Amino acid sequence: MQDTLGAFVPGAILRRPPHRSGPLSGLSFAVKDLFDVAGDVTGCGNPDWAASHDAPETDAWAVDVLRRAGAALTGKTITDEISLGLLGINKFDGTPLNPRAPDRVPGGSSSGSASAVAGGLVDVALGTDSGGSVRTPASFCGIYGLRPTHGRISVAGLMAQAPTFDTVGYFARDALTFGRVGGVLLGEQLADALHPEIVIASDCFALADEPVRLALEPVIERLRKAVPTTAAALAKGELLEWGRHQRILQKSEFHATFRDWIDRVNPRFSSEVAGAFADDGRIAAQDLAAAKGFREVASKRLDDVLDGRRMLCLPTSPILPIARDARLSEMRAAVHRIVDLTCIAGLTGLPQVNLPVATSGPIPVGLSLIGWRGGDASLLAAAQTLAKEFSIGLYEELS
């Protein structure tokens, strides 16, 4: 295999055989360079992180589970530096190609994983999602992606960023493979079919740019004919408040994670990542307390709306992927906009799946479903059902 997309960490492509045959035999998978693979340094997208850490002795839990299920590990994929980014840009390792929109960013921080799957280099890839790092590249590259319920899939052997947000997610091109892998990672059988009641989040659609809304309008009309739907505003008040509180909490946690290492190593960073650490994470105690309180209220609000039987429908990203050569100011604005919607599942710890259902011209536009807490298997079953209803990417040869 040749890395024609710049999706893999530079150097020889890492390979590990499956431990045995199993339900994923015949599939290849790649892992984001935040997951431990025995004998290979976890680089986290930064050369000074790699230079200051030893190779792990064991595989990360998710890597081990996929190998035990019969899948072959084929490569470590590029991540944004220390996973701080949603666009897929890495100053040191390069920016992977978006196979569906080559002049635009692939999305991050699980950029290489999404690129490798979308471009057909591997069948499946592991990513991580704290602030949108699976959902965003899945939407931008036009593939399936899952952010699970927080804590549902073990993060053992994963380089943490913000522990109350970090999750192990994954990508696939087609719905059947997506479901097979999800069943293994969740250790749970998926239903053959699930037609959920869906709440269309009107205020989430209102935040999206016009090209995104126009691309998704016909999909929503088809959805209304296929399953029971209602429309409602998610937020009681200003939806943008959700993103503001997520930014405060996530910033507090990633500063706590990296502060000692930065002080000890004085690592090289791109200007964008360096800027995230410029104020040393100083957050007023009352702002942090308010954000934690808001999270509790928002979580209860969404739990009440979904009630263990409904799913929330929203655009995965409010914007299309920006140009690969965008200015720094455009990059910052894009990240801010993306978090305005990815914060919903991130802040509340709920599962979310991207469905590759639409395009704006040639550019992929993702639609998301957010499931109830712990309802990951039902969410994947719903994704497969809707893939069949819409004839979208059910089998790889049709995607």
Average pLDDT of the chain, as a whole number? 95
For the stretch 259-303, pLDDT in tens is 999 999 999 999 889 988 887 778 999 999 999 999 999 999 999
- Any domain includes 273: no
pLDDT of residue 149: 98
| Residue scoring higher pLDDT (278 or 23) | 23
**Site of tokens 């290849």:** 28
Sign of CA dihedral 208, 210, 215, 221: positive
Instruction: Domain count for the chain, please give it.
Output: 1
pLDDT of residue 6: 98
- Any domain includes 248: no
- Any domain includes 274: no
Task: Identify residue 327 by its one-letter amino acid code.
Answer: R
Count helices and strands (H / E) in the chain: 12, 11
Calpha distance 360→362 (Å, rounded): 6
Kindly state the helix (H) or strand (E) to which residue 136 belongs, with its residue range. helix 135-141
For the stretch 302-333, pLDDT in tens is 999 999 999 999 999 999 999 999 999 999 99
Share of the chain above pLDDT 70, in %: 98
**Is 133 labeled as catalytic in the residue annotation?**
yes
- Whether residue 343 is predicted with pLDDT greater than 50 in this model: the reply is yes
- Whether residue 222 is predicted with pLDDT greater than 50 in this model: the reply is yes
Q: Which of 109, 252, 317, 399 is catalytic?
A: 109
- Whether residue 97 is predicted with pLDDT greater than 90 in this model: the reply is yes
**Site of tokens 């309008």:** 217
DSSP strand pairing (124-129 vs 28-32) = parallel
Domain of 176, CATH number, reads: 3.90.1300.10
Sign of CA dihedral 261, 266, 270, 276: positive
- Any domain includes 56: yes
Count CB atoms within 10 A of the CB of residue 10.
11
* pTM for the structure as a whole: 0.96
How far CA 259 is from CA of 42, 157, 183, 277, in Å, comes to: 19, 20, 37, 9
**Is 399 labeled as catalytic in the residue annotation?**
no
Q: Which of 83, 130, 133, 399 is catalytic?
A: 133
Structure tokens at 229: 């739907």
The one-character DSSP state at 82 is G
- Any domain includes 338: yes
pLDDT of residue 393: 52
Q: Which of 28, 32, 111, 115 is catalytic?
A: 32
The one-character DSSP state at 38 is T
3-state helix, strand, coil in the chain (%, to 5): 40, 15, 45
Calpha distance 398→383 (Å, rounded): 16
**Residues facing 359 on adjacent strands:** 364
Could you list the beta-strand ranges (E) of 13-164: 15-16, 28-32, 72-77, 124-129, 144-147
**Site of tokens 């995104």:** 212
- Any domain includes 2: no
**Is 139 labeled as catalytic in the residue annotation?**
no
- Whether residue 397 is predicted with pLDDT greater than 60 in this model: the reply is no
pLDDT of residue 278: 83
DSSP strand pairing (72-77 vs 229-232) = unpaired
Q: Could you list the residue range(s) of the whole structural domain that residue 134 is in?
A: 15-241+280-398
Lowest mean pLDDT among 66-75, 124-133, 194-203, 346-355: 194-203
- Any domain includes 237: yes
Residue 110 banded pLDDT, cuts 50, 70, 90: very high
pLDDT of residue 325: 95
Residue 391 banded pLDDT, cuts 50, 70, 90: low
Count CB atoms within 10 A of the CB of residue 22.
16
- Any domain includes 266: no
Residue 396 banded pLDDT, cuts 50, 70, 90: very low
For the stretch 85-95, pLDDT in tens is 999 999 999 99
